[in-house]
Structure 1
């Protein structure tokens, strides 16, 4: 019997759209009628901006309903609030904990001991994933919009982070329990990338680091993939030079457009083919990493709730 609800950890290099992917995954699961908790741990309020809702407090709040009737709840986890909750839960320091907060001691503690900070952040996710309403889990899935790929292994591997800080006691026990969940079959760490050299290399390095720490790699999500804008015949003609400026000028003239734009159109077409070639090369590299790939298209109009529904359809296979 599973000890927790499925946990999807979404990471990626900055600028690859990991928050958008995490939100789209939540909408995909809600589209299957599931109750989902979407958590963020970086204090950016990216989820609130995507769903066009007020800034999220430190409490679980419904922010969307899926096409299949499922619900998306969101939670912004900050270490100070998590530590206050922790002190009240384990040490019964209700008012005393708030007094410490006024003196800045809590902020000081989470700054000098980043390992403890990560235990508090992941610990709140752990509690939500294990929480039950009677015999059922409170949520059908928990999704974490996690730190970037370069920090994800250290963030999730809380055991090593607290090893020098807490050999015994509640923090040590909580770290052990969190690691048990992080390494369970119920957890999936998805890596978001774009098809460019640096993000792809960081993704490959992230997979190697996660694997070395026995953390479960899920899917690699190729985001912002540019579609091909030319037919196979036009592509071949551009590459072999058989498509001339004169031919393009004649075509433009027939439809009432300015013929002088022909050279720029040919150069733009060649630049587009080069971008496609680079995309294809990076995709081939990622296909060799062993993790399953999912592609999400570049949406020219930006990301709103409608775009999240569109992306959600592409992520149906992740759960």
Structure 2
């Protein structure tokens, strides 16, 4: 795969619900850590999808090592919480200390993080922004290696990703000056730079593909950089092209089907043969639909990465397997 995000450090992963977004984000973090490198894998929706994927205790608001690879790479997990981020922000910029805790006690923190969703998103992304610029000595300025070689964000779904990443416009009317305004501008600069890329996870189905196409167009219009399209849960056709053509037209050879079923020790009935022919036709139409959707995705000009459907489901072992596939297809080279 050829891509133009060689300088990217922040990999944002989005996708319609049910497409396996968290699984792909987790696999990408593993693939980047295998370089080797130290990778921060974050989520912002509070679903604890990362901990479930890796079968580790629920993540908190502190950065916690999920695993260390034999190559020396590490994946660090973080569940970003808007309330905790706001308290940290108030302490950092306004030195509120115990006063911040009093604000939380009286409900002011909950009010601030729910009544102004744009500010909430600034706080969520702000935590990622801070981790991106932090150095290993804990400082944000000066010389020295960065705390993380790469960051992967399990972001909100495609239906909300454009607004989520447009933090500067979201807070423009709420904070025209001051630290919040300054931080929003700095975050936007990071998101629009070559250091950030947005990957899309989809299935070869009409609704996820349509949302993917709309999100790609939206992000491009906003000056953000789409990365790869990860087509997840791909199943290879059960029939070759010649058999698919026959199945599509309902012209599969019944005597041959009967012979093959008999040789397999199956009791052959007319109903069974007719049922198999109907299922084969449905399968051929499904393959046609998937190929049409793939052609639409290819029309974006973005690199296409494919991951297979896992018959045994997703666990920490299969995520390693998927990570290897991402490496093989150049997504973490």
In the alignment, what sits opposite 2:190?
181
In the alignment, what sits opposite 2:252?
243
CA distance in structure 2 between the aligned counterparts of 1:223 and 1:143, rounded to whole angstroms: 18
Q: Secondary structure at the match of 1:221?
A: strand
Q: Does 1:159 align with 2:168?
A: yes
CA apart distance, 1:240: 5.0
CA apart distance, 1:188: 0.5
Alignment match of 1:277 (pick from 288, 295, 298): 288
Taking structure 1 as the reference length, what is the TM-score of the superposition? 0.95
Would the aligned equivalents of 1:17 and 1:223 in 2 still touch at CA under 8 Å?
yes
Gaps of 5+ in 1: none
In the alignment, what sits opposite 1:18?
21
Alignment match of 1:31 (pick from 29, 34, 40): 34
Taking structure 2 as the reference length, what is the TM-score of the superposition? 0.91
Alpha-carbon spacing, 1:247–1:67, altered in 2? closer, same or farther (3 Å) = farther
Aligned residues: 316
Would the aligned equivalents of 1:248 and 1:259 in 2 still touch at CA under 8 Å?
no
CA apart distance, 1:109: 0.7
CA distance in structure 2 between the aligned counterparts of 1:290 and 1:231, rounded to whole angstroms: 28
What's the Cα RMSD here?
1.6
CA distance in structure 1 between the aligned counterparts of 2:267 and 2:66, rounded to whole angstroms: 49
CA apart distance, 1:247: 1.9
Q: Secondary structure at the match of 1:33?
A: coil
Alignment match of 2:310 (pick from 285, 288, 299): 299
Alignment match of 1:253 (pick from 255, 258, 262): 262
Gaps of 5+ in 2: 1-6, 138-143
Alpha-carbon spacing, 1:257–1:218, altered in 2? closer, same or farther (3 Å) = same
CA distance in structure 1 between the aligned counterparts of 2:244 and 2:70, rounded to whole angstroms: 39
Would the aligned equivalents of 1:24 and 1:308 in 2 still touch at CA under 8 Å?
yes
In the alignment, what sits opposite 2:140?
none
Q: Does 1:265 align with 2:268?
A: no
Would the aligned equivalents of 1:37 and 1:141 in 2 still touch at CA under 8 Å?
yes
CA distance in structure 2 between the aligned counterparts of 1:75 and 1:25, rounded to whole angstroms: 15
CA distance in structure 2 between the aligned counterparts of 1:120 and 1:255, rounded to whole angstroms: 62
The 4+ residue runs of structure 1 with deviation greater than 4 A are: none
